[in-house]
Chain A
């Protein structure tokens, strides 16, 4: 265990965990409003492709980032219309959204494969050099990730809007009886969820890899869905979850580079074994923290 290894793991896990955190926050907001979105993978891919394409076209990664967020939000609104407006089954529609996102992102990204872009710039904290420089120079999305989680926590638990969203997730009928429109609230929540999911995807293509390839999220959307459960629908725990999974992935690669005497096949399993272990240990507390109306379609009068 040398200092380089530890610094490398921390830096890598923060980098890896950032896109996971944004996606988890997005899914969390949607699920707090009672809607399971299994198509998060598709949203992330659309965010990644759109962000990369617009950054390649305009030369400005920030414009790309904004476009990615808007694209994610727009596509999630389509999902919202199907699930809330047309009352389609959430799970099936979510999976369809995943395939739709996979195809649409491939279409959008196709002319831009191999393009070279200036990604989101890394910001060095002034006055820090040497080993610290590697640990403390990230792009803005990384610095904003934990604050974003705090903001979502504040939004859900300390504002009236958040209260209504959580109430819709527990019982839409009660919200309707209180004089609000649950459907409208769900649309809003899903729009926000799409924005965050798009940003999560954009971080992969605009900051982490600076490329676009079909299907490049490689299952991260589904990991984010699992992380929402792991975080017990609380944004603050989502930070820990994202760091844990990002860290596991980073750890096994860093251990390989350091020469660990373990088979590379076993190493590649580590992130999943770790998540499995944590979920088993965590499962002792069987109190269900899920929103009561999660996944249920509301057939009440609008």
Chain B
């Protein structure tokens, strides 16, 4: 019986925490934005880049309120978390991982007054848009850097899941390397998942065992692979976030990063002004959606100039996927006169000449 007053006191104390509503005293924010990440924002990779973009958006729009949730799995759980954000007043939701698409789309149908932006997919609705970077052509510039820096003429590429877009990245990388170094070859190891750190470590070791002296990757976080490369004296090229260079003080060449800030700011402003129109946005180096990371200390000035020139060329619309292009078994895949543009980037199921690996 003595427990009851104790319980009541505890309940009262807990309730008082929620009773005071400091938000009521402040001005209403111009927009509340919700964002879900598939992993941790400290991954030096994909999620970090998303976080940096959102922070830039928040800085550009004073008073904007940002609700975030990390480690949101690509399951129905994500739907519940996004729903919670909508309950807190979010009118714009960024679903930042590929696997969140269906769940965000379901919510978009249930909440026509909330705008959803999904990264990397294709679905669209009046209040559902899609965005990503045009990565494939940008990797060409990374290939130029790798082709010039390699001494063993062997480059290593760790791929998480061999979807068409990832294979396209590898192809552009090899083509860029071949454009400055005709003997350059790329070896590919597939780990089977976007974020299996132990496998990534073993994959990086395997590539370096096979004489790769430049290692790069398409996985969620470049951290493990870059650290392994650094510990074994190999060069590394980063992906997803340009902040990854902090992990390889000696071996960092350069990297590709997503700069989502301008796009996110523009989207948020459109939502505030009521002028949002859904679209499938794929912007690249030239349009501010992606950036080449600063160069590491080992990169000589002439290589830097070559890479910057390649990046400029790509920004102005150059694509390496102009025929004739043969795959690594000799079959011509892109015919003479044909060009593969952005809409075909998911169709890669073959590797170009010079890539050692099997695509499927």
Q: With a CB–CB cut-off of 8 A, which chain A residues contact B247?
A: 116
Inter-chain CA distance A256–B200, complex, in Å, is 13
Binding stretch for chain B, among A30-38, A156-164, A213-221:
A213-221
Binding stretch for chain A, among B61-69, B207-215, B317-325:
B207-215
Say whether A8 faces chain B, with CB atoms less than 8 Å apart.
yes
Inter-chain CA distance A11–B227, complex, in Å, is 18
A208 engages B201 (CB within 8 Å)? yes
Inter-chain CA distance A245–B195, complex, in Å, is 20
Binding stretch for chain A, among B24-32, B173-181, B184-192, B289-297:
B184-192
Q: With a CB–CB cut-off of 8 A, which chain B residues contact A11?
A: 205, 209
Contact pick for A5, options B189, B202, B210, B212, CB 8 Å: B210
Contact pick for A214, options B40, B189, B357, B360, CB 8 Å: B40
Residue of A at shortest CB range from B329? A261
Say whether A146 faces chain B, with CB atoms less than 8 Å apart.
no
Binding stretch for chain B, among A66-74, A187-195, A262-270:
A262-270
**What distance in Å separates the Cβ of B161 from its nearest Cβ neighbour in chain A?**
9
**What distance in Å separates the Cβ of A270 from its nearest Cβ neighbour in chain B?**
11
Contact pick for A257, options B40, B42, B187, B223, CB 8 Å: B187
Residue of A at shortest CB range from B225? A209
Contact pick for A209, options B201, B210, B212, CB 8 Å: B201
B210 engages A257 (CB within 8 Å)? yes
B357 engages A253 (CB within 8 Å)? no
A216-258 vs B, Cβ < 8 Å mask (1 yes, 0 no): 1010100000000000000000000000000001100110111
B360 engages A250 (CB within 8 Å)? no
Tell me whether A114 and B40 are in contact in the complex, defined as CB-CB below 8 angstroms, given that A4-B210, A213-B195, A256-B206 are known contacts. Answer: yes
A110 engages B40 (CB within 8 Å)? yes
**B 107-147 contacts with A by CB, 8 A:** none
**What distance in Å separates the Cβ of B77 from its nearest Cβ neighbour in chain A?**
14
Say whether B338 faces chain A, with CB atoms less than 8 Å apart.
no
**What distance in Å separates the Cβ of B356 from its nearest Cβ neighbour in chain A?**
4
B201 engages A264 (CB within 8 Å)? no
A254 engages B195 (CB within 8 Å)? no
Say whether A95 faces chain B, with CB atoms less than 8 Å apart.
no
Residue of A at shortest CB range from B48? A114
Say whether A204 faces chain B, with CB atoms less than 8 Å apart.
yes
Q: With a CB–CB cut-off of 8 A, which chain A residues contact B261?
A: none
B360 engages A265 (CB within 8 Å)? yes
**What distance in Å separates the Cβ of B54 from its nearest Cβ neighbour in chain A?**
17
Q: With a CB–CB cut-off of 8 A, which chain B residues contact A277?
A: none
**What distance in Å separates the Cβ of A272 from its nearest Cβ neighbour in chain B?**
11
Inter-chain CA distance A204–B71, complex, in Å, is 20
A209 engages B197 (CB within 8 Å)? yes
Residue of B at shortest CB range from A261? B358
Inter-chain CA distance A250–B359, complex, in Å, is 20
Q: With a CB–CB cut-off of 8 A, which chain A residues contact B40?
A: 110, 113-114, 213-214
Contact pick for B206, options A213, A254, A264, CB 8 Å: A254
Say whether A106 faces chain B, with CB atoms less than 8 Å apart.
yes
Say whether A186 faces chain B, with CB atoms less than 8 Å apart.
no
Say whether B198 faces chain A, with CB atoms less than 8 Å apart.
yes
B206 engages A8 (CB within 8 Å)? yes
**A 68-110 contacts with B by CB, 8 A:** 106, 110
B358 engages A262 (CB within 8 Å)? yes
**What distance in Å separates the Cβ of A268 from its nearest Cβ neighbour in chain B?**
4
B39 engages A213 (CB within 8 Å)? yes
Say whether A211 faces chain B, with CB atoms less than 8 Å apart.
yes
Inter-chain CA distance A204–B197, complex, in Å, is 9
A114 engages B42 (CB within 8 Å)? yes
Q: With a CB–CB cut-off of 8 A, which chain A residues contact B251?
A: none
Tell me whether A216 and B356 are in contact in the complex, defined as CB-CB below 8 angstroms, given that A106-B71, A113-B40 are known contacts. Answer: no
**What distance in Å separates the Cβ of B19 from its nearest Cβ neighbour in chain A?**
28
Say whether A16 faces chain B, with CB atoms less than 8 Å apart.
yes
Say whether B250 faces chain A, with CB atoms less than 8 Å apart.
no
A267 engages B190 (CB within 8 Å)? yes
Residue of B at shortest CB range from A262? B358
B202 engages A263 (CB within 8 Å)? no
Contact pick for A4, options B202, B209, B359, CB 8 Å: B209
**A 198-216 contacts with B by CB, 8 A:** 204, 208-211, 213-214, 216
Interface residues, chain A, CB within 8 Å of chain B? Answer: 4-5, 7-8, 11-12, 15-16, 106, 110, 113-116, 134, 204, 208-211, 213-214, 216, 218, 220, 249-250, 253-254, 256-265, 267-268
Give 11 pairs: A residue, B residue, CB < 8 Å, sorted on A.
A4-B210, A106-B71, A110-B40, A114-B40, A114-B44, A253-B191, A254-B210, A256-B357, A262-B358, A265-B360, A268-B190
- Extra pairs beyond A257-B209, A263-B360 (8, CB < 8 Å): A106-B71, A250-B206, A254-B206, A256-B190, A256-B203, A256-B206, A256-B357, A268-B192
Interface residues, chain B, CB within 8 Å of chain A? Answer: 39-40, 42-44, 71, 156, 159, 162, 187-192, 195-203, 205-207, 209-212, 221, 223-224, 227, 247, 356-360
